[in-house]
């Protein structure tokens, strides 16, 4: 199992580098990321969350094996609408907030065979794609909150910051 990095670990604030090669190590990393995501009960996990600053994420909104999606070097090429819903993040434990995002997105990415994929999503899946892609640009979900929203979580963020400085 991989260790999930928690805010304010600096790797979470970095812009991740493009994946240049799909090799055995990358395939193994993807397997371990799925395993970690299921154990932690998440619907998505981005490589920076396990300390790898590369543009790779995994998503599974159904929990079934055919719901598994691997996105290598993903980009959002189109988005529409607006939707607000509660969101959390394995790297920001104990905090959930209502976040407004696009309601529908089209994402272009590569799979582990190097094939280009084009995925259209709405609902939870669209939210997960946007959340995970933000991780690749060093952005965490609470950065999308307005001032009032941030005020409500300030205390908990501070607790995470203190916990981070105390860890061995
Ligand atoms: Zn997250």
Place of tokens 């090429």: 77
Q: How far is the CA of 24 from the centre of ligand 1 (A)?
A: 25
Cα(96) to centroid(ligand 1), Å? 11
Per the annotation, the verdict on 161 as an active-site residue is no
| Span 10-165 CATH architecture | Alpha-Beta Complex (3.90)
pLDDT the model gives residue 167: 82
81: left (phi over 0), alpha (psi -120 to 50) or beta: left
Residue 163: which H helix or E strand, with range?
A: helix 147-166
pLDDT in tens, 11-53: 999 999 999 999 999 999 999 999 999 999 999 999 999 999 9
Question: How do 69-80 and 104-110 pair as beta strands?
Answer: antiparallel
Q: Look at residue 1 in the predicted model and tell me its pLDDT.
A: 82
User: Which residue among 52, 116, 132, 143 is the active-site one?
Assistant: 132
pLDDT band at 81 (very low <50, low <70, confident <90, very high): very high
What average pLDDT is seen over the chain? 96
- In the chain, domain spans: 10-165
What's this model's pTM, rounded to 2 decimal places? 0.96
């Amino acid at each position: 199992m991989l260790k999930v990095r928690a805010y304010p670990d600096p790797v979470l604030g970095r812009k991740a580098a493009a994946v240049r090669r799909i090799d055995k190590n990358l395939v193994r990393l993807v397997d371990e990321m799925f395993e970690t995501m299921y154990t932690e009960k998440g619907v998505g996990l981005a490589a920076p969350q396990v300390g790898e600053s590369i543009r790779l994420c995994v998503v599974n909104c159904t929990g079934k094996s055919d719901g598994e999606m691997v996105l290598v070097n993903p980009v959002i090429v189109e988005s529409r609408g607006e939707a607000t819903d509660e969101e959390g993040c394995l790297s920001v434990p104990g905090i959930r907030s209502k976040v407004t995002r696009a309601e529908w997105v089209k994402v272009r990415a590569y799979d582990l065979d190097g094939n280009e994929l084009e995925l259209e999503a709405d609902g939870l899946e669209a939210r997960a794609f946007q959340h995970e892609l933000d991780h690749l640009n060093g952005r965490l979900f609470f950065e999308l909150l307005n001032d009032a929203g941030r005020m409500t979580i300030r205390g908990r963020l501070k607790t995470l910051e203190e916990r981070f400085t105390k860890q061995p």
